[in-house]
Amino acid sequence: MESSRADHQAQAQDLLASLLPDTGKSIRLGFTGTPGVGKSTFIEAFGLSLIKQGYRVAVLAVDPSSTRTGGSILGDKTRMELLSKDPGAFIRPTPSGGTLGGVARRTREAMLLCEAAGYDVILVETVGVGQSEIAVADMVDMFLLMLSPGGGDELQGIKRGIMELADLVIVNKADGDLEKSAIRAAADYKSALHLMRPKTSCWTANVVLASALKGRGLEEIWQQVQNFQQAMTDSGELDKLRREQAKSWMWAEIQDRLKDHFQNSHRDKLRAMETAVRDGRITPAAAARDLLKDMTGE
């Protein structure tokens, strides 16, 4: 699926089309938080507890920055060591795809493959930077935001938009010396959430205390996930959400492919125009219009 060779891509698309009837049966969870908040510790503990209950768990990642640096948030062997060895789990580091659009496209496809392969829970992890959260929120059923006990101070630093995407807020590290501040932080986050418009009428985002290290909150979080899935299914919102996501996936594909095509077929002129825009010899809008005219003939 991840190969960019044209013949491989053709096979991959045929495969996806034939598997489509077997997809859609898992619960798709998006998971975000700033580096160091405890995401991998949590996903490992959560994943292992789900496997113990008989579920199969797939962990995928969207981290466009790792394509640039050559590293990967899941590539590091020490991350999720137990989970990665467990036959009930499948862990895939972020695919290489250059742009966020490319990475997101491949992750969506990997998600469908995992569903067809019988995984019950798909966890898509994103690093808490840039636009990747929005791309992930747009491919999952439920979006979980992990925060640290920093509380009010941290709240200032979180982009409001990310908080608005959350269906569940997890305050991690609620253990030992940090427990008291985690409780205070949870109250802060709760009141911040109250001021926001709910994403859907059938679900109100909650705040849950957790300790990935001590296993605290895992059961409650899984209960929240199941309640969410039930509420979204009963109200018909889940079906509506997935339909909308399919539509926006199509538009993302169109955008990406048009841009690729454009960049490949107008390489020389593009470079000349970029220089002209940089030098202030032509306005960006006029340059774009001129270049697009070449492509569309209008």
Question: Which of residues 41, 84, 181, 229 is near ligand GDP by CB under 6 A?
Answer: 41
Question: Which of residues 95, 173, 186, 189 is near ligand GDP by CB under 6 A?
Answer: 173
Identify residues 17-36 at the interface with ligand GDP (CB under 6 A).
Answer: 33, 35-36
Nearer to ligand GDP, 163 or 182 (CB): 182
Nearer to ligand GDP, 163 or 210 (CB): 210
Binding window for ligand GDP (CB under 6 A); candidates: 103-111, 162-170, 172-180, 188-196: 172-180
Minimum CB separation of residue 159 from ligand GDP in Å reads 17
Nearer to ligand GDP, 132 or 172 (CB): 172
Q: Which residues have a Cβ under 8 Å from the Cβ of 193 and sit 6 or more positions away?
A: 163, 166, 169, 205, 207
With binding defined as CB under 6 A, does residue 39 bind ligand GDP?
yes
- What mask of x and - would describe binding to ligand GDP in positions 189 to 228, judged by CB under 6 A? ----------------------xxx---------------
With binding defined as CB under 6 A, does residue 2 bind ligand GDP?
no
Question: Which of residues 2, 86, 164, 175 is near ligand GDP by CB under 6 A?
Answer: 175
With binding defined as CB under 6 A, does residue 37 bind ligand GDP?
yes
Minimum CB separation of residue 154 from ligand GDP in Å reads 13
Minimum CB separation of residue 79 from ligand GDP in Å reads 7
CA angle 95, 46, 225 (to 5 degrees): 95
With binding defined as CB under 6 A, does residue 40 bind ligand GDP?
yes
Minimum CB separation of residue 198 from ligand GDP in Å reads 27
Binding site for ligand GDP (CB under 6 A): 33, 35-41, 172-173, 175, 178, 211-213
